[in-house]
Amino acid sequence: MRLQDKVAIIMGAGQAPGASGAIGNGRATACVFAREAAKVCCVDRNLDSAKETAALIAKEGGDAIAWAADVTEEAAVVAAIAGCFDRWGRIDILHNNVGISVEGGDAPLAEITPETFQRIMNVNLCGAMLACKHVLPIMRAQAGGVILNVASAAAYWTAYPNVVYPASKAGMVTLTRQLAMQNAGYGIRANAILPGRMDTPMAVDRRVEATGRSRAEIVAERDATVPLRGKMGTGWDVAYAALFLASDEARFITGVELPVDGGALARVG
């Protein structure tokens, strides 16, 4: 019951389709928060996917609602936050999990168009900014709250092949630090989670679609880059990191970047 009496809004609580049975970071986090007694507003551009997440929570006896919102549209973000607040009268946790990469057209620098660059930045970075902008007045009035931004270990990988995704996630890290410092006096904490190689529908199944390669081949390639046991993490690993940072156990932690990467960022050379 680590989140008893807390209300969480999760942006990106659905997940990309995939035949593997893997779970996405947002859906896993929504389920873990609910199991720890939080009330959860599951927000996703795909309402059916958000409803699937809410249904999983309800099946386990949790309390959740689903809401459709495209994070690049400010009015939609405002409506989702208002819907959550109207339902439960407070918002204690904002979890920004929305992000795109190759499915948004990310590529090496020579192949990037300004339109692609802007599209990915709008989804990955501007979307999180909009959610923070409209949740912060609620949290300030409550004199407390937690913001969790899912960045990526790719923000620090100099060998990452594409350019926009890591740039957007580096921006997420800096945004998080600014949020932490500007809102510490209000009792609001802000931290970033940096997933590494994850076996999720977005990270793996979307690459299968984009490249035409087999899932087994892509999984093996990604597993080989992970120091810890040579295996990727899962959405559950991100979810439990988020649970710790959202809970009162982390009440003195703000402005940090927590790698969830099997040791990838600890490797030098």
Active site residues: 165
Closest CA to 28 of 196, 238, 241: 238
Four-CA torsion 82, 142, 258, 20, nearest 10 degrees: -30
* Burial tier of 123 (Cβ tally within 10 Å: 0-12, 13-18, 19+): buried
Give the helix ranges, DSSP H, for 36-194: 47-59, 74-88, 114-121, 127-142, 164-183
Separation of alpha carbons 130 and 168, rounded Å: 15
Strand order in the sheet with 257-260: 63-68, 39-44, 7-11, 93-96, 145-150, 188-195, 257-260
